[in-house]
Amino acid sequence: MITDLRSDTVTRPTPEMRRAIAEAEVGDDVFGDDPTVCRLEERTAGLLGHEAGLFVPSGTMGNQLAIRCHTRPGDEVLLDAGAHIWNYEGGAASALSGVQLRPVSGAGGLLRSSDLAACLRPDDPHHPRTSLICLENTHNRAGGRILPLALMQEVRSFAETHRLRLHLDGARLWNASAATGIPLASYGRLADSVLVAYSKGLGAPIGSVLVGESAWVRAARRERKKFGGGMRQVGILAAACLYALDHHLERLTEDHANARELALALAEIPGVRVEVDRVETNIVIFDVGDTEMGVDEILQRLRERGVLMVPFGPTLIRAVTHLDARREAVLAAAAAVAAVVGARPKTKAAAHAAMP
């Protein structure tokens, strides 16, 4: 049996979700005729406190549409140095929209107005025009960290003062809301646009929704066509997202509890370091630098034991809990890490002592 903790994107549709897919009412979405897609867009926009939504196949497409529609070629976008848009979207902002990204070093993935102020370009023809700020909540590279609402309000005020637009990459915003009890709309209304992903914590096989003002979303729909995102009878996918919204949202706290238990178990393993108090949602990042084993070797040995995780730095490994990873499997994964790390003597002296 495989315990796959590489990401919360690895989930499989449940039988009930497959039934919802099979029974979905569909139409041609490019013509705006797919009723299931329309329901998903309207419902998502309402949850996030916005006027309209746009269904897209991936979070990357949604983020890039936001950048495209908030900027013009030659502009500069400010975002955290660990942001998904900067690290994991293939340089799309420059390739597709002709803008440059300026990574800002926020503490633990949290951007403050003072961080942004230090990087704000002066109004001078020698410099690119700063036009957009992108935030991420929860923050992947910071270990699923939640962007505090007060800090987002601070950045919103900064953006308004300097006439900048604000986009929220909320692919895992569901997790932030579930962990804090803060309504999605309380976060959503602070941004000019928000991207949420249904294929991460909520367990749908594909799909994200980008929300904003109605006129802005109409412009984004036009750009989606240029990006190759115009889809036809896509209600079969939107139905999975609606099912996930109805049945998988409230259970996210289970993933958070499992991640916490995983972190606690890993912290007990000699040579493994994990900041348990920083595990706020469903992502656990742990350091194996003191084990004298390389990340690739540990991951290979875990794979041989049926446990999958991903490298996240020279000495870091990431594990993500999700719908298909129950408590027992998560604890078994921690036991596998303990077995792998303990399988090799840590020093030459220890290796010699272990010889018969």
Q: Where are the domains of the chain?
A: 15-246, 251-343
What per-residue confidence (pLDDT) applies to 287? Answer: 96
For position 226, what pLDDT does the model report?
94
pLDDT of residue 344: 52
Please tell me the predicted confidence (pLDDT) of residue 115: 94
pLDDT at residue 1 in the model: 82
Looking at residue 106, its pLDDT comes to 87
Say if residues 281 and 137 touch (Cβ distance below 8 Å): no
Give the residue from 185, 289, 198, 292 showing the smallest Cα distance to 237.
198
Which pLDDT does position 72 carry in this prediction?
A: 97
The class (CATH top level) of 251-343 is alpha beta
At the topology level, CATH places domain 15-246 in Aspartate Aminotransferase; domain 2 (3.40.640)
DSSP H or E stretch at residue 77: strand 76-80
pLDDT at res. 343: 61
The angle formed by the CA atoms of residues 300, 301 and 304, to the nearest 5 degrees, is 90
Write down the pLDDT at residue 27.
95
Please give the average pLDDT of every successive group of 10 residues along the chain, which has 356 residues.
94 97 95 96 98 98 98 97 96 97 92 93 92 97 96 97 98 98 98 98 97 98 95 96 97 98 96 95 96 94 97 96 95 96 51 33
Residue 325: phi, psi to the nearest 5? -115, 95
Overall pTM > 0.85: yes
Pair 278, 284: CB distance under 8 Å: no
In whole angstroms, how far apart are CA 195 and each of 54, 113, 134, 138, 191?
A: 9, 22, 11, 12, 10
3-class DSSP state for residue 39? helix
Q: Strands of 100-104's sheet, edge to edge?
A: 52-56, 208-212, 193-197, 165-169, 130-136, 76-80, 100-104
pLDDT of amino acid 353: 32
